[in-house]
Amino acid sequence: MDIKITEEMLIRLYIDVDDLHQSWQMYEKEVRSLVGKLTKPTREPDLSPSEVCCIIAGYHLSGYKCFEYYYHQIIQDKYGSYFPKAPSYERFVSLMARSYPLMWLWSLHCCLQSRRNGLYFIDSKKMEVCHIKREHSHKVFGNARKGKSSTGWFYGFKLHLVINSYGEIVNWLLTPANVADNNQELLIKLLKGLEGICIGDRGYHTALFEWFYVNKLHLIVKPKKNMKQNVISLMEHQQYLKKRALIESVNDILVSVCDVEHSRHRKPENAFASIAGAIIAYRFIDDKPCIFIKYNSHKLGLAA
């Protein structure tokens, strides 16, 4: 999948984030009237927050693997007429930290637009910030931790995703690497408000099966090797578990196309804005991996 940023795509990105930013400004005024004066930077940049966010999200659709080359060749050169007040690359990097709240809000807005069709998949992906041997000398990410994945130990974070059967991201969270996949607080945040079926791997065995079931969500996970195979009580479960590779395809697109692992940052805020930018960019990809499978909520004992 080879995606290049186009004029039409940049316009779509800008309109989407600018509409959200204007709505947020109206809400922010109400907050200020209740809370009082909020601390803001004394100098306003020439680029608007919407333009900054548009440029960040556009990078993750550009096919570039170096943000500096993308900024010089695409933003300042090819589409310079759209950003006549674009500052130097060094100045723009300093503006990325300010854009993180709006980028985070925009990514959640994209998730809310995903369809709730009753069939979901959950998985986590490691996000390394440095080699495991340099964990004690690493100073950029103070809340990064040591964790273990299926490929071994690593140092950094975990990106937790929930997608639907259309390949759309329904929810996401970023946690330190030492947070387990079946952490109860994490699962409640990720799966809050979802109804139907959610498929995960062996790492999602939890004591919350009954709690989710009462809340109309059937959590189906692959049985552990030391478990008896009759844990899967219905034949439909095996059919769903075979489709779990869908979320692996989404993870692969986030890495190879959207460059979610872009880790050459010197500020945590820049890195988090970049990760949110990859989630947003994925929302604007038209050909997402998907499956077409129906589930019968009555056979599973769930309310329709």
The confidence score (pLDDT) of residue 120 equals 95
Mean pLDDT of 195-200: 92
**Cα dihedral across residues 262, 267, 272, 274: positive or negative:** negative
3-state SS assignment for residue 295: coil
The confidence score (pLDDT) of residue 164 equals 95
What is the band of 38 on the pLDDT scale with cuts at 50, 70, 90? very low
What is the band of 102 on the pLDDT scale with cuts at 50, 70, 90? very high
User: Which is higher by pLDDT, 265 or 1?
Assistant: 265
The confidence score (pLDDT) of residue 142 equals 86
Contacts of 214 (CB under 8 A, 6+ apart): none
Return the domain boundaries, the chain: 7-112, 119-259
Tell whether the model's pLDDT for residue 134 goes beyond 80. Answer: yes
Mean pLDDT of 170-189: 94
Judge contact between 201 and 180, C-beta under 8 A.
no
Q: Beta 196-200 vs 169-176: how paired, if at all?
A: unpaired
Long-range Cβ contact pairs of 299-303 (< 8 A, separation 24 or more): 299/234, 299/236, 300/197, 300/218, 300/234, 300/236, 301/213, 301/218, 302/195, 302/196, 302/213, 302/216, 302/218, 303/216
